[in-house]
């Protein structure tokens, strides 16, 4: 197998400013930096950007409202459902395989069409520093 590296991040809309959303967006930018530093060593760097994935997170975060959260998340995706962890794993397996040997610096969006449907969040400038 040719050199390969992967990261999981997000480019999905995050209007809440939640720290997790910001951290995921940074993952894609970090992957680009790592790529430029390591491409000469035949190390490929790509980022997988998942949408809402059907995991236990709904129960852990929403408790008794977990089913409602899942319904709302499913309705937000053009495919009408949440993704499954196996679908994200399959995307990552593809990116680390020889089948993707000429793919590097890519952000593979695996979100059921959410980003294409909703677009990116509005641009906000950072507050000025004194």
Look at residue 12 and tell me if it is in a domain.
yes
Look at residue 32 and tell me if it is in a domain.
yes
The alpha-helical segments, DSSP class H, found in 10-127 are 19-38, 57-62, 66-76, 85-96, 114-118
What tens digit of pLDDT does each residue of 50-91 get?
Answer: 888 999 988 898 999 999 999 998 988 889 999 999 999 999
Tell me how many domains the chain contains. Answer: 1
What tens digit of pLDDT does each residue of 107-117 get?
Answer: 888 989 887 77
Look at residue 62 and tell me if it is in a domain.
no
Look at residue 64 and tell me if it is in a domain.
no
Token couple for 77: 């995706």
CB 125 within 8 A of CB 27: no
CB-based burial label for 51 (10 Å; 0-12, 13-18, 19+): buried
Q: Identify the domain containing residue 100 by its residue range.
A: 5-54+82-118
Look at residue 127 and tell me if it is in a domain.
no
Look at residue 70 and tell me if it is in a domain.
no
| More confidently predicted of 15 and 32 | 32
Query: Average pLDDT of 8-14?
Result: 43
Look at residue 103 and tell me if it is in a domain.
yes
Token couple for 108: 């593979």
What does the alpha-carbon distance between residue 111 and residue 87 come to, in Å, rounded to a whole number?
A: 10
Look at residue 25 and tell me if it is in a domain.
yes
Residue 114: CATH number of its domain: 3.40.50.720
């Amino acid at each position: 197998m040719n050199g390969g590296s992967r990261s999981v991040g997000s480019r999905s809309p995050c209007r809440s400013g939640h720290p997790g959303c910001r951290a995921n967006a940074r993952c894609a930018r970090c992957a680009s930096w790592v790529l430029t530093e390591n491409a000469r060593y035949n190390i490929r760097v790509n980022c997988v950007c998942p949408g809402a994935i059907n995991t236990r997170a709904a129960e852990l975060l929403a408790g008794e409202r977990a089913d409602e959260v899942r319904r709302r998340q499913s309705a937000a995706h053009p495919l009408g459902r949440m993704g499954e962890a196996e679908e994200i794993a399959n995307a990552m397996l593809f990116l680390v395989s020889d089948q993707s040997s000429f793919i590097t610096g890519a952000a593979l969006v695996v979100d059921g069409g959410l980003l294409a449907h909703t677009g990116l969040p509005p641009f906000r400038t950072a507050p000025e520093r004194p």
